[in-house]
Amino acid sequence: MDATDVGADLQKVLIPADRLQARVAELAAEIDADYAGSDLLLVGVLKGAVMIMADLARCMRLPVEMDWMAVSSYGSGTRSSGVVRILKDLDTDISGRHVLIVEDIVDSGLTLSWLVGNLRSRQPASLRLCVLLRKPGAARMDVDVAYTGFEIANEFVVGYGLDYAERYRNLPFVGTLAPHVYAGTGEAEAPEPAPEPVEEGREPGREA
């Protein structure tokens, strides 16, 4: 899939495919160097991290194991509330293991800080984070990201694993959507990217 397949839905390409691939290769080299001689378990967060996980693991020289978790954070559709539910847990016992969580994006940081707390309680030998994209809001949550692909502005992005309403994940680049895509969805414009905690009850979940 490329830009021509989404036509007028696309507003702009923010990070082209070649820049994504080059940066992922750099991250892989850093991780290889940092974990040389140790057994590493990559934990991808479904579904958004599928693309970076696949490319990162293929660029790495170290043998790694891969496992997956699916979590859902509840908020007003596009806003994270910090209430996280495990939809799919790890198959692996991580106690005593070196674990690197691989995630597509950290926005408010609520999802990842919950996940770090959850996995830390299972007593891994080490636990670090690798995130493709980081938005400014993450600074407020004090999530310590060891490997960051790109710092981006506070706007809603899709592609390379990231979705809007489950679409656009298979674009090879990261981009923004035209306002008409959000029209008629109750979102007047692009989903609000800087969520504040909400107190409402359970609403349609947003899969991380």
Contacting residues toward ligand IMP, per CB under 6 A: 48, 73, 80, 103-112, 156-158, 162, 193, 195, 208
Catalytic residues, which ones?
107
Q: CA of 32: how far to CAs of 29, 65, 66, 145, 199, in Å?
A: 5, 13, 15, 17, 42
CB 84 within 8 A of CB 61: no
Residue 70 identity (one-letter amino acid): A
Q: CA of 56: how far to CAs of 66, 93, 132, 156, in Å?
A: 11, 22, 10, 23
Supply the minimum distance, in Å, between the C-beta of residue 27 and ligand IMP.
17
Nearer to Mg ion, 15 or 208 (CB): 208
Residue nearest to Mg ion (CB): 48
- Pairing between β-strand 126-134 and β-strand 147-151 as defined by DSSP bridges: parallel
What is the binding site for Mg ion (CB under 5 A)? 48, 104, 208
From the list ligand IMP, Mg ion, none, partner contacted by residue 106 (C-beta under 5 to 8 A by kind): ligand IMP
Supply the minimum distance, in Å, between the C-beta of residue 104 and Mg ion.
4
Nearer to ligand IMP, 37 or 166 (CB): 166
Supply the minimum distance, in Å, between the C-beta of residue 65 and ligand IMP.
22
Nearer to ligand IMP, 60 or 101 (CB): 101
Q: Per the omega criterion (within 30 degrees of 0), is the bond before 135 cis?
A: no
